[in-house]
Structure 1
Amino acid sequence: MKGNDVSKETLEIGLLFFPGMTQLDVTGPFEVLARLPGARIHLLWKSLDPITSDVGLTLMPTTPFAECPTLDVLCVGGGPGQMALMDDPEVMAFVADAGARARYVTSVCAGCFILAGAGLLTGYRSACHWLSRDQLAVLGAIPVKDRIVVDRNRISGGGVTAGIDFAFEVAAQLCGVDIARRLQLMLEYDPKPPFDITEDNAPAELLAEIRSAARPMLEERLRSSERAAARLAAGQPQSDVAGGAAGCSAGAPQ
């Protein structure tokens, strides 16, 4: 059997919410992980105030940082709000602290930049959205062109919809393949995209057009990553930036 049988009653699973997030990065995984035996889901943010996704969906956090327990899984998604988030010392201190204590540290899409900016992906392999994948190296991570990447206790998914595939992998790691397969069947996950188009087979002119349209965002993402990399290189922990770690209760570091 792949993965670890769960020996305790509760699985503490935390999904980071933030303004400007791409909600499917974490609501896809939420749909799978919330159905695991003993799962207790924490939708994490600074407060319980509603936040708005990058395309206008209102989302309600359930657990403020200060009340987050030690997590079995920390999951971080991306979205255009990721860049501002990486310059927020309170959030980055929380991610660094929660990730250091979690059994599994995970991301979908550009959420890997948040983990990397918190010093949690140095020397680890990671998936990412294809538009930004190469920038991960700026933060000491190893970009990998796979839909799901498992490197020790780091698990990452590629862009947006890859979060669903990623979630079944996390489910298998936590509870075993049998439960993950059962969930996949119950959720009727059998994707058949109407169009056969990917990074690998798209026309060069279409890829160039998309990259051109995304250039301002990519340049901003690179600048935010370079600032985070400079803090890491200076040996400046995110918790020190914030004046003390915020969040999870004490536990043995990973």
Structure 2
Amino acid sequence: MTVPLQIGLLIFPKVTQLDFTGPLQVFSSVPGAKVHLIWKRIEPVTSDSVMMLTPTTTFADCPQLDVICVPGGAGADDLLNDEDVLDFLRRQAEGAKYVTSVCTGSLVLGAAGLLKGYRAATHWSAMDNLSAFGATPTKTRVCTDRNRVTGGGVTAGIDFALTLVSMLVDRTTAEAIQLRLEYNPAPPFQSGSPDTAPAEVLARINERIAQFKARRKEMVERAATRLNESA
């Protein structure tokens, strides 16, 4: 009897739902895989949109995972100094085949001490925070460094998940899932990266997120200080 792959995605208040629903759709298509949505308690949590999310298991009841994945979002900043979350990730990382993230979820892995000495990707607006945790910021949609696989911002979660399935199972399985989802991107605009977005669009977004970036920087500095003190 084949033991099913155990794949777990952390969910939390103010998570960016597309960070994990993209990978969730991919992982749920892997034959025989068991996918878990994990939080501290079994109670609905709010996403960063109108969608409410219900965990399927708790930290205490979660089995040892083959893949642990941390998505991002505004709520991820609150996890950087949450010892319950960080301890759970450290425990799971000891036995996991792959330790992964999407978007700013990589900062949470970093705060848990799980990216020191690794290359990692994240959302473009958070790239300068990774080095505080001893990671090497890598500007790419999917970054693979040994058993750490990290995705860039939000929509990169689908690329990340398909890449990971090709590593967990095989390329043909990943390609079949891609075809089933008709994942064939053709964006209407070329503004999906700060490198290609019009200057006025980039300026507007930077102005809108300035306050969030300042708060994130403060949380990262606190987390990095605690991590260094415990080393």
TM class by shorter chain equals: over 0.9
Q: Which letter does structure 1 place at the counterpart of 2:80?
A: M
Sort the Cα spacing of 1:8 and 1:120 in 2 relative to 1 into closer, same or farther, 3 A: farther
**CA contact under 8 A between 2:22 and 2:157: conserved in structure 1?**
yes
The corresponding residue for 1:106 is 100
Q: Report the count of equivalent residues.
A: 230
* Shift of residue 91, structure 1, vs aligned partner: 1.4
Sort the Cα spacing of 1:150 and 1:194 in 2 relative to 1 into closer, same or farther, 3 A: same
The corresponding residue for 2:52 is 58
The corresponding residue for 2:82 is 88
The corresponding residue for 1:241 is none
* Shift of residue 9, structure 1, vs aligned partner: 2.6
Q: Does 1:166 align with 2:166?
A: no
**CA contact under 8 A between 1:100 and 1:120: conserved in structure 2?**
no
- Measure, in 2, the Cα distance between the counterparts of 1:99 and 1:220: 27
The corresponding residue for 2:131 is 137
* Residues 64-123 of structure 1: CA deviation (Å, up to 9, x unaligned): 111111111001000001111222221111112112221100000000001000000011
Q: Does 1:230 align with 2:225?
A: yes
The corresponding residue for 1:39 is 33
Q: Which one has more relative contact order, counting CA pairs under 8 Å at least 6 apart?
A: 1
The corresponding residue for 1:245 is none
* Residues 154-190 of structure 1: CA deviation (Å, up to 9, x unaligned): 0011100100011100100100101111111111110
Q: Which letter does structure 2 place at the counterpart of 1:127?
A: A
**CA contact under 8 A between 2:81 and 2:111: conserved in structure 1?**
no
- Measure, in 2, the Cα distance between the counterparts of 1:201 and 1:50: 38
Specify the SS of the correspondent of 1:19. coil
Question: Identity, % of aligned pairs?
Answer: 49
Unaligned runs of 5+ in 1: 1-6, 237-254
Specify the SS of the correspondent of 1:226. helix
Q: Which letter does structure 2 place at the counterpart of 1:201?
A: T
Compare 98-107 and 70-79 and name the one that shifted more. Answer: 98-107
Task: Give the TM-score normalised by the residue count of structure 1.
Answer: 0.87
Unaligned runs of 5+ in 2: none
Specify the SS of the correspondent of 1:67. coil
- Measure, in 2, the Cα distance between the counterparts of 1:196 and 1:209: 16
Task: Give the TM-score normalised by the residue count of structure 2.
Answer: 0.96
Specify the SS of the correspondent of 1:95. helix
Match among 125, 147, 159 for residue 153 of structure 1: 147
